[in-house]
A and B are shown apart, each in its own frame.
Chain A
Amino acid sequence: MIEIDRLTKRYGATLVVEDVSFNVEEGTLTVVVGTSGAGKSTLLRMINRLVEPSAGRVLIDGEDTRTIPEDELRHRIGYVIQGYGLFPHRNVADNIATVPRLLRWDRKRIAQRVEELLDLFQLDPAEFAHKFPHELSGGQQQRVGVARALAARPALLLMDEPFGALDAVIRSKAQDDLIAIQRRLGATIVLVTHDMNEAFHLGDRIAVMDQARLLQYATPAELLMRPADDFVERLVGTVERPFRLLSLTPVREALEAGHAEGEPIAASESLHDALSRLLWTGRKALPVADSSGAIIGRVSVDKILQHGRPLP
């Protein structure tokens, strides 16, 4: 578990991060979201001590990060930035091998790890290991950036606007990939973004920051239904709120008994997807299938609409 305990950063008289506390459970993805200049990057950089806190502390599994030598701490925490900062003079394999080399892993182990990561990120080792960063597309660079950060199996992965440099289509694919990899590795991730859609799409929990302060730290559904104040409410977007809520809810939650015509939808898909299909096909209900493909009931427009508003 990562405990962020009353972290504060002051530059001269300005407070850039003010008294921020929250905990990140192991194996979860926490998104820090807020407008530009809110202090998100500074908060993130205090976790790996690229910025020294003016007050407060960070505990990783109960261990105060100040007791760990800076460089050693950073070897244990992966770090991905917008633009990635790949080393232009090193090829993909050498880029990924950076931290394992700093840790003096033996060569065979490094080579194995690099290959494993390239596979994981769907980059064919034979093709990509010896390419240089400038020979890669934006999406490939991004994957190498994340692979490099994961190379030494860090306890925690920090990501600062990791998708900021990608165009919309590649970005949503990269986001899905990140979720898949996070689930698969059970990694603990803290990700910074200014994009609310991204926050809702990725976050198990979301920390909303504004003007140096943490306004709310909650699950996406809580954020929608019980925003802490007007600012959060405006930030989550009053117009998109119902659709966001539907995106967060799986079909299973609105399952009812009965029969419906048409192609079945999986119980794990979101109500947002179900509604979209219903609108497009002009039907009132769709059959619902479980993971084995067996029909387990149906989902109807009326039932979905009930989920698109806060519970009384």
Chain B
Amino acid sequence: MTATSLVRLIAFLLLAAFITMPQGFAFLFEPLIAPGAPAIYNQGSLLVLTLQHLRTVCLATIASTVLAVALGIFVTRPSGAEFLPLSRSLVNIGQTFPPIAVLAIAVPLVGFGEKPTFIALFLYGLLPIFENTLTGLTQVSPLALEAARGMGMNARQRLVQVELPLALPVILAGIRLSVIISLGTATIGSTVAAKGLGEVIIAGLQSNNIAFVLQGGLVVALLAVLIHDGLGLVERVAARKLGRFLNEVP
């Protein structure tokens, strides 16, 4: 077992221990708080909040992935080629929108709660996945495609057997980016009353309880780092076969 995977394991165990039995860590946070204030978040279960947080991110990412990959495939086919330049510019422009703006604009349209958060995560999550799908599909070696055509693969066979597998590591990198952005945006989602770990931080800010803020921050941060790491692992497995991609995937 390498040092990094050991660190990974320890981080995971710590996180799991903390969200299931936060009271056990109270002694660490007591020095930070005013006398009499609670040292550990007491307005809900950290475990439940974590799961709700993850559920929102997960659902939004699945939805973004399906749509973004489908769109990416569409604009790289001859029938959708007319939309390619526009869609590239739109992705560039879209990424100049801060996620919080998307979240804020969604509230008046659909009200408070999970919905605006989901919409913001979904819309904003589309961008990196779509962009990477485009990159992945357009950088497929023209030689491999020529060979595929020459061997009599039809358009669907080329897409499924050649283009998508070759683009997969890049698409996965897009999904990973999207998940990480979503984890952060979902945290801010608590300002519009979405259930999630942002609640802990907001509660801490409202009651001026640094311990809460720190707990929320730590859980979200650890979660993000672990997920980022885990998805990176998946990417590397996918890229391993394609030796030439190994260096390109960060």
Is this pair of chains taken from one and the same complex?
Answer: yes
User: Which one of A73, A86, A87 contacts B152 once the chains associate, using CB atoms below 8 Å?
Assistant: A73
- The distance from the CB of A162 to the nearest CB of chain B, in whole angstroms, is 12
User: B149 at interface (Cβ–Cβ under 8 A)?
Assistant: yes
**Bound CA span A88–B143, Å:** 11
A and B contact pairs by CB, cutoff 8 A, 18 listed? A50-B149, A71-B152, A71-B153, A71-B154, A81-B146, A81-B147, A84-B143, A85-B144, A87-B147, A88-B141, A89-B166, A99-B151, A102-B152, A132-B241, A132-B242, A134-B242, A134-B244, A158-B150
For B154, the chain A residues whose CB sits under 8 A away are 71
Asked if B165 and A74 sit within 8 Å, CB to CB, the answer is no
User: A140 at interface (Cβ–Cβ under 8 A)?
Assistant: no
Residues of A bordering B, CB below 8 Å: 48, 50, 70-75, 79, 81, 83-89, 98-99, 102, 132, 134-135, 148-149, 158
Asked if B152 and A85 sit within 8 Å, CB to CB, the answer is no
- The distance from the CB of A273 to the nearest CB of chain B, in whole angstroms, is 37
- Evaluate whether A75 and B152 lie within 8 angstroms (CB atoms) in the complex, with A88-B243, A89-B166, A134-B243 already known: yes
**Bound CA span A71–B156, Å:** 12
For B162, the chain A residues whose CB sits under 8 A away are 87
Residue among B149, B152, B162, B245 with the most chain A CB within 10 A? B152
User: B148 at interface (Cβ–Cβ under 8 A)?
Assistant: yes
- The distance from the CB of B156 to the nearest CB of chain A, in whole angstroms, is 11
Told that A70-B152, A86-B147, A87-B148 touch, could you supply 10 new A-B pairs with CB distance under 8 A? A50-B146, A50-B149, A73-B152, A74-B151, A85-B145, A85-B148, A87-B162, A102-B157, A134-B242, A135-B243
**Bound CA span A162–B151, Å:** 16
For A79, the chain B residues whose CB sits under 8 A away are 147, 150-151
- The distance from the CB of A58 to the nearest CB of chain B, in whole angstroms, is 15
Number of interface residues of B (CB under 8 A): 22
For B243, the chain A residues whose CB sits under 8 A away are 88, 132, 134-135
- The distance from the CB of A235 to the nearest CB of chain B, in whole angstroms, is 28
Q: Which residue of B lies closest to A69 (CB)?
A: B152
Asked if A85 and B147 sit within 8 Å, CB to CB, the answer is yes
For B145, the chain A residues whose CB sits under 8 A away are 85
- Evaluate whether A88 and B150 lie within 8 angstroms (CB atoms) in the complex, with A132-B241, A132-B243 already known: no
Residue among B141, B149, B153, B244 with the most chain A CB within 10 A? B149
**Bound CA span A81–B242, Å:** 20
For B241, the chain A residues whose CB sits under 8 A away are 88-89, 132
**Bound CA span A48–B152, Å:** 9
User: Which one of A71, A74, A86, A132 contacts B144 once the chains associate, using CB atoms below 8 Å?
Assistant: A86
User: Which one of B147, B148, B157, B244 contacts A84 once the chains associate, using CB atoms below 8 Å?
Assistant: B147
Asked if B151 and A88 sit within 8 Å, CB to CB, the answer is no
**Bound CA span A158–B144, Å:** 16
- The distance from the CB of A258 to the nearest CB of chain B, in whole angstroms, is 54
For A149, the chain B residues whose CB sits under 8 A away are 151
Asked if A89 and B165 sit within 8 Å, CB to CB, the answer is yes
**Bound CA span A132–B241, Å:** 7
- The distance from the CB of A212 to the nearest CB of chain B, in whole angstroms, is 22
- The distance from the CB of B139 to the nearest CB of chain A, in whole angstroms, is 12
Q: Which residue of B lies closest to A73 (CB)?
A: B152
User: Which one of A48, A70, A89 contacts B242 once the chains associate, using CB atoms below 8 Å?
Assistant: A89
Asked if A88 and B153 sit within 8 Å, CB to CB, the answer is no
Q: Which residue of B lies closest to A89 (CB)?
A: B165
For A99, the chain B residues whose CB sits under 8 A away are 151-152
- The distance from the CB of A54 to the nearest CB of chain B, in whole angstroms, is 19
Q: Which residue of A lies closest to B168 (CB)?
A: A89
